[in-house]
Chain A
């Protein structure tokens, strides 16, 4: 489903991705690991079509994520490394997502509930005023409600309490069938039951890639 070929991305003289080649297919749950600055986030952003590569390309179901951004993103759910300080209220954010990405609002509520986040009590609150963990819970709920074939998480559990992490992994387990789940993490033990492929990156290269 995702094909990365000879992808190189430089920022100034700093090479963040160095001729990366890999493929992610249906029914794969991948743990993407590596030291800080290894290039994990850069790889994910390239898949989302945010970066213009210096060389190589990314194809998602045969489509270029920059040129056919709308079609490609219809099929991707994404939770970033840091919840952004969005100034919209929860209600407005859900409106943005339900109108803009055709995500069912009730489904967001449903998953938020499963994550033990009370959305209806916070509807008029600005998103950035939620606690760090609450923000992540909401973003996770949105990512699950948006029925996509590709789910990308860039360390989404950093601010979650142990209970919430369990909820999260339980929900993911229920939702990973027939999908690509790409999971950046520094704690392999946590996602061990969930993933069937482990990729290590270092200095912008993939240094190991094992199916388990």
Chain B
């Protein structure tokens, strides 16, 4: 337990000093600042205004960029340390592989999660200061969604990191996964849908196993409880479960997915040559 927190703490300290972390924090902090400067809270679009609208915009952008940020900064964590022989030295001390691996994950999780959540908190505080009312339900939902999203992609990143031979390959795979989840699944599903060869339920199921898709739908679900923006998808989702269940699923499923990937990554890490 002590070693686990030690490794998490040292990884956190190391990450915070890194240049990517500065860029990372500036991007999310800057996003919020930009929204305020652009007057997002004052304008009214689609019936949402004020902080709710700002948070919705924030999360919609975050859903797209957070995964790639997490993937590219984390995918090299273990493979990079292996390449540079850091692992060879650090693992010559009596620290179990379990503590090392999970300590790294916890440290990394805090590093990637804090800036995104912090940016949102700043938005709430600044918004409240300017007299806007605070949409707590949306805030808590997004806190949970961001948590689940960070966990999902961190797990995937560590999984990749555990088996790739070199950092370059790791980066390549990370990009591919991101693009694939972001665009190809959509495009593929739309074309399947148009061909009408598969039934809709199957297609929607395939869309919903994509964590990025489920975040997109969940993020809008509080604004649009009937999910009208989703068209026929809403019918199936709301037919099979209540809105609350769907929200819980949208947080629980990616969380489990991330843990599973992280776990498989650990199994590989344990079974393979360490250096």
Query: A residues bordering B, Cβ < 8 Å?
Result: 45, 48-52, 69-74, 76, 78, 80, 82-88, 92, 95-97, 99-101, 139
Hey, which chain A residues are within 8 Å of B88, CB to CB?
A: 45, 50, 80, 84
A100 CA to B93 CA, complexed, in Å: 7
A49 CA to B275 CA, complexed, in Å: 10
Total CB contacts across the A-B interface at under 8 A: 78
Query: Looking across the interface, which residue of chain A has its beta carbon closest to that of B88?
Result: A80
Hey, which chain A residues are within 8 Å of B179, CB to CB?
A: none
A97 CA to B89 CA, complexed, in Å: 11
- Pairs across A and B, CB under 8 Å, 19 listed: A50-B88, A50-B273, A52-B272, A69-B96, A70-B95, A72-B94, A73-B93, A78-B92, A80-B89, A82-B85, A84-B90, A85-B86, A86-B90, A87-B17, A92-B10, A99-B2, A99-B3, A100-B95, A101-B93
Query: Looking across the interface, which residue of chain B has its beta carbon closest to that of A81?
Result: B85
Query: B residues bordering A, Cβ < 8 Å?
Result: 2-3, 6-7, 10, 13-14, 17-18, 84-86, 88-97, 271-275
Shortest distance between the CB of A126 and any CB in chain B (Å): 8
A74 touching B94 by the CB < 8 A rule? yes
Hey, which chain A residues are within 8 Å of B96, CB to CB?
A: 69-70
A70 CA to B91 CA, complexed, in Å: 10
Shortest distance between the CB of B87 and any CB in chain A (Å): 8
Query: Looking across the interface, which residue of chain A has its beta carbon closest to that of B81?
Result: A84
A52 CA to B72 CA, complexed, in Å: 29
A100 touching B3 by the CB < 8 A rule? yes
Indicate which residue in B17, B86, B95 contacts A101 across the interface (CB closer than 8 Å). B95
A87 touching B14 by the CB < 8 A rule? yes
A163 CA to B275 CA, complexed, in Å: 33
B89 touching A84 by the CB < 8 A rule? yes
A73 CA to B13 CA, complexed, in Å: 26
A86 touching B89 by the CB < 8 A rule? yes
Indicate which residue in A45, A92, A100 contacts B94 across the interface (CB closer than 8 Å). A100
Shortest distance between the CB of A70 and any CB in chain B (Å): 5
Hey, which chain B residues are within 8 Å of A76, CB to CB?
A: 92
Given contacts A92-B10, A99-B2, A100-B3, contact A45 B89 (CB under 8 A): no
Hey, which chain B residues are within 8 Å of A69, CB to CB?
A: 94, 96-97
Indicate which residue in B2, B3, B14, B86 contacts A84 across the interface (CB closer than 8 Å). B86
Hey, which chain B residues are within 8 Å of A70, CB to CB?
A: 94-96
Indicate which residue in B6, B13, B17, B85 contacts A80 across the interface (CB closer than 8 Å). B85
Hey, which chain B residues are within 8 Å of A72, CB to CB?
A: 94
A139 CA to B85 CA, complexed, in Å: 14
B97 touching A85 by the CB < 8 A rule? no
Hey, which chain B residues are within 8 Å of A78, CB to CB?
A: 89, 92
A92 CA to B6 CA, complexed, in Å: 10
A73 CA to B3 CA, complexed, in Å: 15
A73 touching B92 by the CB < 8 A rule? yes
B273 touching A51 by the CB < 8 A rule? yes
Most chain A CB within 10 A, of B85, B94, B96, is at B94
Query: Looking across the interface, which residue of chain B has its beta carbon closest to that of A97?
Result: B93
Query: Looking across the interface, which residue of chain A has its beta carbon closest to that of B274?
Result: A50
Indicate which residue in A49, A74, A82, A88 contacts B10 across the interface (CB closer than 8 Å). A88
Shortest distance between the CB of A111 and any CB in chain B (Å): 16
A72 CA to B95 CA, complexed, in Å: 10
Shortest distance between the CB of A181 and any CB in chain B (Å): 16
Hey, which chain B residues are within 8 Å of A95, CB to CB?
A: 6, 10
Shortest distance between the CB of B36 and any CB in chain A (Å): 35
B6 touching A96 by the CB < 8 A rule? yes
A86 CA to B13 CA, complexed, in Å: 13
Hey, which chain B residues are within 8 Å of A51, CB to CB?
A: 273-275
A99 CA to B18 CA, complexed, in Å: 24
| Given A69-B96, A100-B7: 17 more A-B contacts, CB < 8 Å | A45-B88, A48-B92, A51-B273, A72-B94, A73-B95, A76-B92, A80-B89, A84-B85, A84-B89, A84-B90, A88-B13, A92-B13, A95-B10, A96-B90, A99-B3, A99-B6, A100-B3
